[in-house]
A and B are shown apart, each in its own frame.
Chain A
């Protein structure tokens, strides 16, 4: 069982890609986040609300990875920061769909978010990064499994080599380098 962590501990866990803590935080924030967004933006579509929440969590995670949100820059609550990221996702979603935003100004919870966080959550996405993400999402085997198991699941090379029938850990590792090299080659323009 995961014990309740402080905001600072959550930031550290997100930075370390601690899957158990991230999952626990997702479950913990899901209901209040969806309830507030639904109420303040008059969104009743559950599918849409879940998409907004998932996107907010991913951006929140990315801000931590890119050190735009750190223990030092967080001045309000972490849940408030996540909500603000969510508000920006809603704005983007509505803009993309050409909808006007109906906000319940009276009741909207405006948490305190530090200027750095505000700047980040409003930032326009780098076109190159969007391309990289798309390419990584669509990459085929064996690179897809190999890279995910190493960089996300943090499995050892020995166990990856065993499961995927590589001669040894070094062979699996060399295959990983080749995969990274292949991906890099798509974006490096001499």
Chain B
């Protein structure tokens, strides 16, 4: 038997490709310690060597596969790190841009508008008369009280009283529309004084589009703003 023939025989045995008959015959040769081989290397030793070679080939395949897998994992990790970095950068850049925009908006638009509104509210409360002449019911008294508080510069307290009278959701139930209009207007004036420009402007637009007693005044004020 040539060396190549032996290699083929061992390979077929290890791969389980032998018939039952071939297998029995091969195993008999394996256990033959008498060594009929001229090269004096037992078939068993040769088979073990061949087995070890095949295992070494598979181990090389495994190592290469694990290295490829590891490279992929690292690539994925790097990819995720990059996305995180970009996201954080975008967020901080976006945040900075928004902050700058807010500062500019405040400086250029909101701040002068708030100043105008406050001036107007001060002038308004200084010149207005109390509503005593319109009746002495509870609602009129509340509005008068609010107006007096505004004139004595107690705007937060005044606004609380106005809020109790001005309840848009109960508008339909209000019997005296004129008092509701007064409360709505005073609420707007309070907002203007407290620098709540956006909400005040929304109220002014609402009044300007209604049939309130203060409709034209609100429209005029909106134009000046």
Query: Cβ of B46: which chain A residues have Cβ within 8 Å of it?
Result: 184, 188
A190 and B39 form a contact (CB under 8 A): yes
Given contacts A23-B69, A57-B62, A132-B49, 15 further A-B contacts (CB under 8 A): A19-B65, A54-B63, A61-B62, A128-B52, A133-B59, A136-B60, A152-B61, A178-B4, A180-B53, A181-B7, A185-B3, A187-B49, A188-B46, A189-B41, A190-B41
Give Cα distance in the complex from A136 to B63, angstroms: 12
**Residue B225, interface by CB 8 Å:** no
**Residue A13, interface by CB 8 Å:** no
Distance in angstroms from B89 CB to nearest chain A CB is: 24
Q: Which residue of B lies closest to A50 (CB)?
A: B70
Give Cα distance in the complex from A54 to B64, angstroms: 10
Distance in angstroms from B143 CB to nearest chain A CB is: 70
Provide the main secondary structure of the chain A interface. helix
Provide the main secondary structure of the chain B interface. helix
Q: Among the listed A27, A61, A62, A151, which residue makes an inter-chain contact with B57, where contact means beta carbons less than 8 Å apart?
A: A151
Query: Given A57-B66, A188-B49, are A180 and B7 also a contact pair (CB < 8 Å)?
Result: yes
Give the total number of A-B pairs whose CB atoms are below 8 A apart: 94
B56 and A133 form a contact (CB under 8 A): yes
Q: Which B residues lie at the A interface, using CB under 8 A?
A: 3-4, 7-8, 11, 39-41, 46, 49-50, 52-67, 69-70, 73
Give Cα distance in the complex from A133 to B70, angstroms: 21
Query: Which of A66, A128, A177, A189 gathers most chain B CB within 10 Å?
Result: A177
**Residue A30, interface by CB 8 Å:** yes
Give Cα distance in the complex from A148 to B59, angstroms: 10
Distance in angstroms from B192 CB to nearest chain A CB is: 60
Distance in angstroms from B159 CB to nearest chain A CB is: 59
